[in-house]
Amino acid sequence: MTISVAQAQVFFLVFTRVMATIIHVPVLGGQNIPNPVRIGLGLLLSAILLPWQALPAEAPMTGPVLYLVAIGKELLIGTLVGFAAVLTFGAAQIAGETMGLSSGFASSRVLNPALGDTSSAIDQLFMMMAMLLFMVLNGHHIFLVALQHTFSLLPVSADLPSLDGQRLMSMTSQLILSGVQMALPVMGALLLTDITLGLLARVAPQVQVFFLGLPLKIGVALIVLSMTFATAAPMLSDLFKQMGPRMLELIAK
């Protein structure tokens, strides 16, 4: 079978959008995944998702300037779709960072390979739980189906949709709020702990509240976190199930 240059150009545009999307999702194309694996996954998905309509060998190829513009469009579309997907993991990261900052775990930060950044131990624990729940709920299926729908909504080389900044800000603020809500039980328990320690310092000044408070707050945070999983898991499930509509919402015309 003869593959025309025009067909190869279309495949590379599909590959560009796919790669620009999956590199944002920690489970599929995060920084901890080797580049050959990411590129191989991108090529495989591009071959599957490509709206295959074989072009004749004599089909005209796109000029260099127009082709560079088309590549830029696909990069932008893929980045928007990937950003909408990674916002869900961002909500879990915000929850973990907030709990770690309040409990004292933030003083010992280590590399988080899932995000390629330093984070606290409690943040890594929460992110690992979120990624495990993502796979259990077939979140990768939701992501791939939404990625395929982007080619129905915006075919290759289609005009860019009108970018609504208000829609992007609203989506971001909702997911930040969800992250804070997941961290509220731990934050509330630690606030009560701080108030108790403050009263103890006034009642018994001889007690070294600082040395007593750090291990106490860590213990309280771990106990409340273990109970918080029961309420955080349904919230994360809803966020993952809405990942597909959010990915398509940003590029909707």
Query: Domain boundaries in the chain?
Result: 5-249
pLDDT tens for 198-213 read 887 787 777 777 777 7
pTM: 0.77
pLDDT band at 59 (very low <50, low <70, confident <90, very high): low
Q: Look at 20-29, 122-131, 168-177, 202-211 and tell me which has the smallest mean pLDDT.
A: 202-211
pLDDT band at 56 (very low <50, low <70, confident <90, very high): low
Q: Give the residue, 163 or 242, on which the prediction is more confident.
A: 242
| pLDDT attached to residue 235 | 86
Measured between alpha carbons, how far is 68 from 45 in angstroms, rounded to an integer?
22
Q: Is the pLDDT of residue 100 over 70?
A: yes
Angle in degrees, CA 25, 29, 35, rounded to 5: 160
